[in-house]
A = this chain, B = another copy of it.
Amino acid sequence: MNMNDGVKTAVRTVNLFEAFSRRKGPMTLTQIAEALSAPISSCHGLVRTLSAKGYLYTSERNRAIYPTKRLLEIATTIAAHDPVLETIVPVLEALRDETDETILLGRRQGETILYLDVIEGGQTLRYSAGAGDIKPMHSSAIGKAFLGRLNDTERAALVARLPLDLRTANTITERAALEADLTEGIGRGYFVTRGENVVDVMGLATTADVYGETMGIAVAGPLVRMEAGEAELAARLLSAKATLEALGSGA
């Protein structure tokens, strides 16, 4: 049976590029096999295929396998034509400039939260994440914002079936406690996590309906700094939400 990971080769293909991105240099076939936790012979076929497509090449000198710039060209072209982010991102950048903390743009994807974009703050100690990262709903601020947006029936159903995995010592793993936390957030107008996803990180989040899609936006940073500025940060977050909903009421 499949380890519920999805199509094996597709996962390995992207994992291979991720491995190159982490290693920041060429890899030998054996190293690739190790990085992918896959048999060498399997990786051999994968590398052959991607080489034939022009994504990899092998140095005849030391058998090192390098990625070409093809992936970059394709990714750049794709990103240059993202219509949604084009309009949303400037608002988030403004929010980042106001707060100097990291701004997250996320969506609900099934029972998880997917970061569409991450605009990092300028401080030395900051919340750092990557576009495409996937977080659990119950421990991320954006996740709570999406839960809070549902009607009571839907929310109860979703909370009941979410896997409330422990991420840190502060993660809420009791369904009743999560319900209470969400109720609090609904009253407050925004949702908060305090070290529930990552230790010492606090996040403030809300949702915004833009172009008919519900987006989640959040400000995240170190607990102490965030707690000190919570009132102002929340105000700015809600102001950004209003701006987004204003520009995205059409289409």
- CB neighbours (8 Å) of A59 from chain B are 213
Query: Once the chains bind, are A84 and B109 in contact (CB under 8 Å)?
Result: no
Query: Once the chains bind, are A7 and B49 in contact (CB under 8 Å)?
Result: yes
Cα(A115)–Cα(B55), bound, Å: 10
- CB neighbours (8 Å) of A227 from chain B are none
Interface positions of A from 185 to 212, Cβ below 8 Å from B: 211-212
Whether A48 is near chain B, meaning CB under 8 Å from some CB there, is yes
Query: Once the chains bind, are A69 and B83 in contact (CB under 8 Å)?
Result: no
Q: A78-B21, A134-B54 are in contact. Are A45 and B14 (CB under 8 A)?
A: no
Contact among B53, B73, B130 for A73, CB-based, below 8 A: B130
Interface positions of A from 61 to 119, Cβ below 8 Å from B: 61, 66-85, 107, 109, 114-117
Q: A17-B75, A75-B75, A81-B24 are in contact. Are A70 and B131 (CB under 8 A)?
A: yes
Query: Once the chains bind, are B70 and A130 in contact (CB under 8 Å)?
Result: yes
Whether A180 is near chain B, meaning CB under 8 Å from some CB there, is no
Query: Once the chains bind, are B11 and A132 in contact (CB under 8 Å)?
Result: no
Whether A46 is near chain B, meaning CB under 8 Å from some CB there, is yes
Contact among B20, B57, B81 for A114, CB-based, below 8 A: B57
- CB neighbours (8 Å) of A71 from chain B are 17, 71, 74-75, 78, 132
What are 12 A-B interface contacts by the 8 Å CB criterion?
A5-B49, A7-B45, A10-B13, A10-B49, A10-B50, A13-B13, A24-B80, A25-B83, A66-B82, A67-B78, A73-B130, A73-B132
